[in-house]
Amino acid sequence: MSDLTHDGVERLPLHTFTENAYLNYSMYVIMDRALPYIGDGLKPVQRRIIYAMSELGLTNSAKFKKSARTVGDVLGKYHPHGDSACYEAMVLMAQPFSYRYPLVDGQGNWGAPDDPKSFAAMRYTESRLSKYAEVLLAELGQGTVDWIPNFDGTLQEPKMLPARLPNILLNGTTGIAVGMATDIPPHNVREVAAAAVALLDKPGASLDDLLEFVQGPDFPTEAEIITPRDEIRKIYQSGRGSVRMRAV
């Protein structure tokens, strides 16, 4: 509880103020920067990149456009942060060895599996949306999601993208926030789609029912998973564990 003095000054214990301030800060970092939203599996910067590219008309059938143009639109309209961090997020979504189903179709040097950071500067590379990105954008204009003002209130941006499939499972994600973290592996689109249909037909389906369709993670590196089936089941049941792989 806070108290008001005769001068109209609010007083409250230091531990109460710091507790609330830290909670507000951590929730901001969790919700607005570090962890993805479960609805579309995207962090805010990723969502803004995809949306900005769609607004630029950079569909999979369009001509490639300089990546610097996309980054400039993202920073100027929706995401007023550093250009290098924005471009790096864009690069990750274009690397077929980082994303199981890349959201960006890149042209030029976008890094290599043995050196992912060796990508060229944004003024040299070109990009457009991948075919898979349509899964997130196809129903955007049909009143399927809420819209919010951008950082200066001059434009509207989608609160989330209307994903037709659970992208958070298909591409996985990694995020480190304040006091919590997540690391979800990617999965095969056919397996996840079949499991989603089964869950719609039978909402009370058990874990074992769904594991009839989802055999396990499906990493873009094409490595062989050597973790036993029963251990994979425990990972899905508890949400904790590690997946062992070997090169083929």
Query: Which residues are annotated as catalytic?
Result: 124
- Backbone angles phi and psi of 27, in degrees to 5: -65, -35
**Cα 223 from chain centre:** 23
Contact 117, 92 (CB under 8 A): no
